[in-house]
Amino acid sequence: MKGMLKDLTISRDGSQSLIIAIEGDAREIFDELSGHPVELTLKRWRKRRSLDANAYAWVLIDKIAEASGVSKTEVYWNTIKEIGGVSTTVCVEDRAVDQLRAGWRKNGTGWISDTMPSKIPGCTNVTLYYGSSTYDTAQMTRLIDLLIQDAKALGIETLPPAELERLKRLAGEGG
């Protein structure tokens, strides 16, 4: 749910109250949870990628795979690795590397990892790539732009520029 923090008050006893203005109707959830302990997670809101943009990415992935003889999964993985801002590198004890990579992979098709040596003895650097289901609008746009570049290099027809701009605009509006 999207909202905006409006006020924080601190009572004399030290308890804190947070006022959040929200978009949408919260009456039903308020009635259900009012008076009960709840778990809260607050984080900066970001525009989510458009499902139309995701569908077009997979159309391109399919065409590139067909033209290149590479699997769709491999095309997807290779493209993910080229996008900036969609990975995290962590230093892990050598004995835990395989377990981390296997657990990360269970998140979905695009959740891949690479390893490289660490300067710390007994450790390995693991780069963890996030799948496109977590991408914001800018990251999804970069994914599609890279796929379009690869498609054109293989002589694959892509959407006309005006339609591509429409897709990107929709992605910016959340669908």
What pTM did the predictor assign? Answer: 0.67
Per residue of the chain (175 residues), give pLDDT as tens: 788 899 999 999 999 998 988 888 888 888 888 898 888 878 777 666 555 888 889 999 999 999 999 999 999 999 999 998 999 999 999 999 999 999 999 999 999 999 999 999 999 999 999 999 888 888 988 999 999 999 999 999 888 877 777 776 665 554 4
- Among the listed residues 67, 76, 52, the one whose alpha carbon sits nearest the alpha carbon of residue 157: 67
For helices 137-153 and 161-172, angle between their N-to-C axes, nearest 10 degrees: 160
Measured CA to CA, the distance from residue 88 to residue 1 in angstroms comes to: 26
